[in-house]
Amino acid sequence: MRIVIASGKGGTGKTTLAVNLAYLLAESRQVILADLDVEEPNAGLFIRGDQVLHEDRYKMIPQWKEDACTLCGICQGVCQFHAVIQLGTMIMVFPELCHSCHACSGLCPESALPMVPKKMGTLTHLRTGNLDFVEGRLDIGEEQAVPLIRQTKQYLDDHSPDGAIRLVDAPPGTTCPVIEATRDADFVILVTEPTPFGLHDLKLAVLTMREIRKSFGVVLNRYGTGNDDVLDYCREENIRVLARIPHDRKIAELYSAGKPVYQDVPEARRSLDEIVSWLDETWGKKAL
Amino acid sequence: MKEIVVISGKGGTGKTSLAAAFAYLGGQEVIVADCDVDAADMHLLLKPDFGQSQDFYSGALAVIDNRKCTMCGRCHEVCRFEAVVLRNGRYVIDPFSCEGCGYCSRVCPEGAITDIPVKSGQWFISNIKTGSVMVHARLAPGAGNSGKLVARVKNEARQVAKEKNKDYIIVDGSPGTGCPVVSSLSGAAFVVLVTEPSLSGYHDLKRVHQLVQKFHIRAGCIINKSDINQKVTGDIEKYLQDQDILNLGRFLYDERFTEAMTRGLTIVEYDGSDLKKQVEESWNMINHAIQ
Amino acid sequence: MRIAFTTRGTDWDAMMDPRFGRTEFFLVFDEKTGVLTHFDNRETGNEAHGAGPKTAQHLFNLNPDILITGNGPGGNAASALEKSGIMVYYGANEMTVREAYEAYKNDELSTV
């Protein structure tokens, strides 16, 4: 069972939900939580565990072999991302811009641009009790999130404990990193808040989920503030609202200190229980 | 012409609410650019008329002409993104996987693959309720690259500012630390970092500030919801001091941010008293800093 | 010395463009001949990725010894310029080209 927790807008409580749901589920089952918001990974701030792995992650980039190069210029013509340019008698490669498509390397008639690994970030794996936690973290200035998301997912496929539920904290927004984080999900939880910003960004997220044909439900966070427009929208669009987490300053305070909230805020606990029991009913005890 | 870019790293810190409030205070003298194109929300507060609109194309998508394809499989071999897939005995492109790198079209011996430009959104030039102009955009769901759209929005905003002879542009920047933020920061005279005193807020502030430093841009910081965690607020203030970031003030956790938004108002319209005064103070500090 | 400026216009009174990668123009002043020429870089400004490297390439072809700019080139452009051997001076925001040139001569700009 693979559940991705996403949101159109940032700061709606995506990470809070992912972390708390993971802890709660881990009380009785095997869980692996992954932070795929590689530009700003935050779930790790809430997890203490033993380090299973911490390693650098690489992507492949071309490396110029000056002695083999005839300066024919094909490489810079091929690269759609301006990651390879010719400066006078020099070929320069810009690792942050490279999409690792191999085109320049493969099409170089002199084999003067072999592909070599270049660090783009790190991957960390922690374990505490039934809970495994995996984080991808992009280096600052690295512009391509997708390759690291892809590698982190591959790691999850290879290293998830048998029968573990996979929970994923996705990047915010609706562009390619979200698609990559979401594409192999069985179910997507969209977290939003009952404000005009929340509604507007939820609509975009819903369009995206429909575009990639994912089944999804909504968790309404900070319920009680703002207005009922999100609920009305979900009703009109036939979108299941899995839970309403009440607006409570205490949650913001606990979150700010990097603490799980459900043990101290009974209403939050109740909302999480609702989500779990719905998932149980719908996807079956076995899947969960 | 000076660009003031408001960014936050982490979402939900009140970045857009504050950027819109500054735009309101700046009135006719300030051109607005909403560069948070992934989740463009500023229009909900500034009421644009969507006066002019234009389609936006970005990147490329490979398309295979099945009449020319001989099923040699070269495209499938070279693609690093698993975007060339075999479906019902034919090679087709999975549009969500294709990066538009053009490798397949170059190696196809039959010339059966074309790279077509992808429509990935729209951008608008609107009149807004402050009496000024806003440039904003809407990204198509699942679109590939928002950095280019950010660049476009900024360039149009500069053009408008030039034509109308305005000196200031306020930019609502993108979240994260990747390509869209880099585009948002390009050419900035001053960066306003909006953060909150949570471990994540602080963590993301540090990450995004590293990026700002790479571009040698002066920065100031607003700590929103400062009372939810006094200790972290203290840590952030110390960080600001150490990093020579201008402290633009603390705001308290305040329901009026949400109430104003719910009514489609900026916070300075909704509240004429203490909150407005505080936003004005920050705005004055920013103005002073860029003189 | 051949000195390049990132600018928003094509003469001495044009404002400096604080950006490198997406600068509108380059003005090049040849101190030996006293000739001022310009290069239109606006097309690069609308590129998605890699405006920095592309612009660095244009600059390189203009063959300057020195670049005077505003905010200073970001990561990609910076590394291209480093290899190109062009000296970079930054901090010339909110100045005309003339003022930026004066500031450079008076040693008021920062260097990378």
One domain for residues A74 and A174? no
Per cent of chain C over pLDDT 90 is 60
Which of A88, A90, A97 lies at the smallest CB-CB distance from C76?
A: A97
List CB contacts (< 8 A) between C91 and chain B: 216
The stretch A95-119 carries a mean pLDDT of 95
One domain for residues A24 and A159? yes
The stretch A153-166 carries a mean pLDDT of 94
Above 90 in pLDDT, residue A188?
A: yes
For chain B, say whether A119 makes contact (Cβ under 8 Å): no
Average pLDDT, chain A: 93
Average pLDDT, chain C: 89
One domain for residues A84 and A144? no
The stretch A125-138 carries a mean pLDDT of 97
Above 80 in pLDDT, residue A284?
A: no
One domain for residues A138 and A36? yes
The CATH number of residue A29's host domain is: 3.40.50.300
Residue-range definition of the domain harbouring residue A40: 2-58+121-283
Which of A83, A90, A141 lies at the smallest CB-CB distance from C50?
A: A83
Q: Which pLDDT score is estimated for A8?
A: 85
Q: Which pLDDT score is estimated for B123?
A: 95
Which helix (H) or strand (E) segment holds residue A209: the answer is helix A196-211
One domain for residues A264 and A169? yes
Residues recorded for chain C = 112
The stretch A168-183 carries a mean pLDDT of 91
CB atoms within 10 A of CB B99: 24
Distance CA A206, CA A204 (A): 5
List CB contacts (< 8 A) between B215 and chain A: none
Domains of chain C: total: 1
Residue C6: pLDDT band by 50, 70, 90 thresholds?
Answer: very high
Q: pTM for this structure?
A: 0.87
Q: Does A288 reside within a domain?
A: no
Q: What are phi and psi of A159, to 5 degrees?
A: -120, 5
Q: What is the pLDDT of residues B17-53, one digit of tens each?
A: 999 999 999 999 999 999 999 889 999 999 999 999 9
Which of B9, B201, B229 lies at the smallest CB-CB distance from A253?
A: B229
SS (H, E, C) chain B: CEEEEEECCCCCCCHHHHHHHHHHHHHHHEEEEECCHHHCCCHHHHCCCCCEEEEEEEEEEEEECCCCCCCCCHHHHHCCCCCEEEECCEEEECCCCCCCCCHHHHHCCCCCEEEEEEEEEEEEEEECCCCCEEEEEEECCCCCCCHHHHHHHHHHHHHHHHHHCCCEEEEECCCCCCHHHHHHHCCCCEEEEEECCCHHHHHHHHHHHHHHHHCCCEEEEEECCHHHCHHHHHHHHHHHHHCCCEEEEECCCCCHHHHHHHCCCCHHHHCCCHHHHHHHHHHHHHHHHHC
Q: Give B3→chain C minimum CA distance, Å.
A: 10
Per cent of chain A over pLDDT 90 is 84
Which helix (H) or strand (E) segment holds residue A287: the answer is helix A266-287
Strands A216-223 and A241-246: parallel
Residue A5: which of A259, A237, A230, A214 has the closest Cα? A214
Size of interface A-C (CB pairs under 8 A): 45
| C76:A94 CB<8 A | yes
Residue A268: which of A46, A20, A29 has the closest Cα? A20
One domain for residues A225 and A260? yes
Q: Give A278→chain C minimum CA distance, Å.
A: 43
One domain for residues A29 and A133? yes
Residue-range definition of the domain harbouring residue C53: 2-111
Q: Which pLDDT score is estimated for C44?
A: 84
Interface test with B, best of A101, A139, A222 (most B CBs within 10 A): A101
| A85:C75 CB<8 A | no
List CB contacts (< 8 A) between A195 and chain B: 258, 261-262
Which helix (H) or strand (E) segment holds residue A137: the answer is strand A131-138
CA B86, B92, B95, B96: dihedral to nearest 10 degrees? 0
B35 contacts B135 by C-beta, under 8 angstroms: no
| B101:A172 CB<8 A | no
Interface of C with B (CB under 8 A): 8, 15, 17-19, 21-22, 45-49, 51, 70-72, 74-75, 90-91, 93-94, 110
Q: In a 10 Å sphere around its CB, with 0-12 CB exposed, 13-18 middle and 19+ buried, how is residue B134 labelled?
A: buried
One domain for residues A131 and A262? yes
Distance CA A160, CA A220 (A): 29
Strands A187-192 and C2-7: unpaired
Q: Which pLDDT score is estimated for A110?
A: 96
Instruction: Please give the radius of gyration of chain A, using alpha carbons only, rounded to the nearest integer.
Output: 22
Size of interface B-C (CB pairs under 8 A): 53
Q: What is the pLDDT of residues B46-101, one digit of tens each?
A: 999 999 999 998 888 999 999 999 999 999 999 999 999 999 999 999 988 898 99
Q: Which pLDDT score is estimated for B144?
A: 67
Helix (H/G/I), strand (E/B), else coil: A85: strand
Residues contacting residue C100 through CB under 8 Å, at least 6 positions apart: C5, C16, C68, C92, C109
Q: Give A286→chain B minimum CA distance, Å.
A: 31
For chain B, say whether A266 makes contact (Cβ under 8 Å): no
Residue A253: pLDDT band by 50, 70, 90 thresholds?
Answer: very high
Distance CA C27, CA C15 (A): 11
Above 70 in pLDDT, residue A288?
A: no
Q: Does A99 reside within a domain?
A: yes
Q: Which pLDDT score is estimated for A143?
A: 80
| B203:A212 CB<8 A | no
Domains of chain A: total: 2
Above 90 in pLDDT, residue C67?
A: yes
One domain for residues A68 and A198? no
Distance CA A7, CA C79 (A): 36
| A11:B10 CB<8 A | yes
Q: Which pLDDT score is estimated for B214?
A: 83
One domain for residues A187 and A100? no
Considering A113, A134, A150, which residue would you say is the last residue of a domain? A113
The CATH number of residue C18's host domain is: 3.30.420.130
| C93:B189 CB<8 A | yes
| C21:B186 CB<8 A | yes
Residue numbers of chain B with a pLDDT score lower than 70:
144-145
Which of B16, B147, B204 lies at the smallest CB-CB distance from A40?
A: B204
b/e map of B175-204 (b: 16 or more CB within 10 Å)?
bbbbbbbbbbbbbbbbbbbbbbbbbbbbbb
Q: Which pLDDT score is estimated for A11?
A: 87
- Name the token pair of A280: 């149980």
- Name the token pair of B98: 């294709």
Q: Which pLDDT score is estimated for B145?
A: 64
Q: Which pLDDT score is estimated for B124?
A: 97
In Å, how far are B49, B74, B154, C20, C72 from B162, measured between CA atoms?
A: 21, 50, 12, 19, 22
Instruction: Look up residue A154 and give its DSSP letter.
Output: H
Helix (H/G/I), strand (E/B), else coil: A13: coil
One domain for residues A94 and A219? no
One domain for residues A98 and A33? no
ipTM of the shown complex: 0.89
B59 contacts B100 by C-beta, under 8 angstroms: yes
The CATH number of residue A74's host domain is: 3.30.70.20
C95 to chain B: nearest residue by CA? Answer: B1
Which of A82, A85, A141 lies at the smallest CB-CB distance from C75?
A: A141
